[in-house]
Amino acid sequence: MAAAASSPYQRYRPASQHRGQAFFRPRPTRRPVVAPAPPAPTERPAVAQTPGHEPVLDIQELKTYFFTYDGVVRALDGINLQAYAGETTGVVGETGCGKSVTAFSVSRLIAEPGSIISGRILVNGANLLWGLDKEAKFRRVGRSDRVRVIRSFRHVRAANERMSAVRGKGVAMIFQEPSQAMNPVFTISDQLGEAVLLHRGVEVYEELLRADAGLVGPAAATAAPVTPGEPLEQIPEAPAPAVEPDIDGLLQVAATGRPEELRIKTAEVAAAVGLPSLDPELFYLLRNVGAQAYGRRKRVEAVLRRRHLSGLQRRYLRHQRRLAIIERAIKDVYLSEMQRERSRTGTRSRLRFRLMAERWRHFYYGLPGVTRRASAPIKREMFWRTVVMLEGVRVANPVQVARGFPHELSGGMLQRAMIAMALSAEPGLLLADEPTTALDVTIQAQILDLMHQLREKVGTAILLITHDLGVVAEVCDRVNVMYAGVVVESAPVKELFRRPLHPYTQGLLAAIPRFDQPTRDLATIPGSVPNLIRPPTGCRFYPRCPYAMPVCREVRPPPELQGEEHMVACHLYTSPEEGATAAEPTGVKLPIAGAPGAAGVPAPAH
């Protein structure tokens, strides 16, 4: 990474010469506004990195603006941020600082009137902003501050298609507003089930086909394809003799009325049949029935018959599996395009043709009556898989929640349903936008624990957006502090809590209530986050900063490394003016009522 420049003043330029600042200044003539090119690697500013790691997410000089009637909202103005595999990276800041816009930009869900202007977003080496310059042109309206965005729908659609290759397994997101993220006209199981089919369809179809053929245990392991997507010819068309599950034993356990034992038994029976989703179905059928369990034999037998498919259903599943394999291959092509930043139109067209041919050859599966009968096993399978997913996020009544519509659920339940959806794909990068804000404290801990388990199991890189510095101290490895669309400080969590450098970070930490000082008044940062349509020139924290200097009003502070992994953007650490360089960070005392100073802030829990 770039180290601090030999003379910080080499970087200083008057505000009028800043490319980003001059971008939308009213001009006398009507002419196109050219977005600034992303910086070459050598021009990149100092970014705090963990040496020896390749980041899963690498955001470079990202600018996202909203083109409103009042003017251009510079929501992100050149941010740099990294997230590493198996680590949790926190993003903190006051409301309106651009935390959610960062997450939306990474998942490319910035909607009108917003647009990503420039920058690079690399996820495992794939540039999600490849071809961005072709997606939109920006024109000023007359001599006003208004900017019109002219989008090229062909290129926007191509970018959306490319993103489908990354979403789910590559990048998943937990939204801050679950009620807005869910479709109100579909049940929870429909929505969660669709997400699973989209990302793991091949595995689901293969599991159903194997169970139908009676292939369980070692037989399934040898007969089934090792790699999902390989030919399934080994699985016989006609079902093999079914493995007889122990129905008597199951009813006996159900009659004892002990749910823990029943759960073990239902899992045993489901494993014997080769369809794990039978486990919750049998469990919720026999739970709390007591001595009446023996009267439910016929229903248990009916549930177990679910694994047998009709000829139509078997053929339909094989057809769906073929489609899913081709779609997966198309996604792989998109992914390699973003990694190499080179188009592979020929390969993609050939695969699209195969997909179309497969659909046309079996067009009759699309007829309404046929689809309903043929897809019944998938629907039922997805319902019970959804129940298992909801159990995973500690929903107390998962069957009712799976059947419910979003408006029938409380905010916390909806939040958990969405967390289940995001975790189901076992993503490489999880963007968690205030995932625990709507939850009770006890559930919060369980959800954070769940995310931790995912991190340990799959090596997921988690970008955790939160207001709660307690949560940051507890679960994060690194922290990025955002203020008014800029990352002002970034450091490993212990380092940041022990040695906060930026006055804004110091103010945030000083505002944490402390048990060891119960009589102390809580510190506040005077003022509020500026209007991002006309943000302050120079440092955006200038109007609220107790250390503001003349240079701060004029010049935007460049990010500088202070130690190996500690980045800060503040003239206190770059400018030799007015004794600024003499400001020893650990000795800095905030002139804010009750502030304990940098040295006195609480240390993280781990």
Given Mg ion, ligand ATP, ligand SF4, none, residue 532, with its beta carbon under 5 to 8 Å by kind, binds: ligand ATP
Amino acid at 268: E
Tokens of 2: 């770039």
CB 542 within 8 A of CB 550: no
The piece of 138-146, 173-181, 448-456, 519-527 that touches Mg ion (CB under 5 A) is 173-181
Tokens of 428: 């490489």
Residue 290, exposed/middle/buried by CB under 10 A (0-12, 13-18, 19+)? exposed
Least Cβ distance, residue 367 to ligand ATP (angstroms): 42
Ramachandran area for residue 434 (φ above 0: left; ψ -120 to 50: alpha; else beta): left
Residue 36 binding ligand ATP, by CB under 6 A: no
Residue 378 binding ligand ATP, by CB under 6 A: no
Residue 361, exposed/middle/buried by CB under 10 A (0-12, 13-18, 19+)? exposed
- In the range 261-290, which residues lie near ligand ATP by CB under 6 A? none
Mark 99-118 as b/e (b = at least 16 C-beta within 10 Å). Answer: bbbbbbbbbbebeeebbbbb
Tokens of 601: 């802030």
Q: How many residues bind ligand SF4 (CB under 6 A)?
A: 14
Give the single-character DSSP code of 308.
-
**CA atoms of 575 and 570, how far apart (whole Å):** 9
Given Mg ion, ligand ATP, ligand SF4, none, residue 235, with its beta carbon under 5 to 8 Å by kind, binds: none
Q: Is the peptide bond before 546 cis (omega within 30 degrees of 0)?
A: no
Least Cβ distance, residue 74 to ligand SF4 (angstroms): 17
Q: In the block, which residue shows the tokens 């180290």?
A: 3
Q: Which of 23, 24, 66, 316 binds ligand ATP (CB under 6 A)?
A: 66
The piece of 188-196, 314-322, 433-441, 569-577 that touches ligand SF4 (CB under 6 A) is 569-577
**CA atoms of 17 and 78, how far apart (whole Å):** 16
Binding mask 478-517 for ligand SF4 (x = CB under 6 A): ------------------------xx--------------
Tokens of 381: 């399978």
Q: Which of 532, 555, 590, 592 binds ligand ATP (CB under 6 A)?
A: 532
- In the range 96-125, which residues lie near ligand ATP by CB under 6 A? 96-101, 113-114
Tokens of 335: 């992914």
Q: Which of 49, 60, 82, 100 binds Mg ion (CB under 5 A)?
A: 100
The piece of 92-100, 403-411, 423-431, 447-455 that touches ligand ATP (CB under 6 A) is 92-100
Q: For ligand ATP, which is the closer residue by CB, 99 or 199?
A: 99
The two beta strands, 461-465 and 88-92, are: parallel
Residue 224 binding ligand SF4, by CB under 6 A: no
Q: For ligand SF4, which is the closer residue by CB, 149 or 548?
A: 548
Least Cβ distance, residue 63 to ligand SF4 (angstroms): 20
- In the range 518-557, which residues lie near ligand SF4 by CB under 6 A? 539, 541-542, 545, 547-549, 552, 557
Least Cβ distance, residue 560 to ligand SF4 (angstroms): 11
Least Cβ distance, residue 74 to ligand ATP (angstroms): 9
**CA atoms of 136 and 115, how far apart (whole Å):** 8
Least Cβ distance, residue 454 to ligand SF4 (angstroms): 36
Long-range (24+ apart) CB contacts under 8 A made by 349-354 are: 351/326, 354/326
Least Cβ distance, residue 533 to ligand ATP (angstroms): 9
Residue 481 binding ligand ATP, by CB under 6 A: no
Given ligand ATP, Mg ion, ligand SF4, none, residue 541, with its beta carbon under 5 to 8 Å by kind, binds: ligand SF4
Residue 68 binding ligand ATP, by CB under 6 A: yes
Q: Which residues pair with 126 in a beta bridge?
A: 123
**CA atoms of 517 and 441, how far apart (whole Å):** 23
Binding mask 528-547 for Mg ion (x = CB under 5 A): --------------------
* Sheet with 72-83, edge to edge strand ranges: 72-83, 57-67, 114-123, 126-127
Residue 571 binding ligand SF4, by CB under 6 A: yes
The piece of 1-9, 31-39, 96-104, 132-140 that touches Mg ion (CB under 5 A) is 96-104
CB 218 within 8 A of CB 227: no
Q: Residue 600: phi, psi to the nearest 5?
A: -95, 5
**CA atoms of 41 and 24, how far apart (whole Å):** 25
Given ligand SF4, ligand ATP, Mg ion, none, residue 167, with its beta carbon under 5 to 8 Å by kind, binds: none
Contacting positions for ligand SF4 (CB under 6 A):
502-503, 539, 541-542, 545, 547-549, 552, 557, 570-572
Contacting positions for Mg ion (CB under 5 A):
100, 176
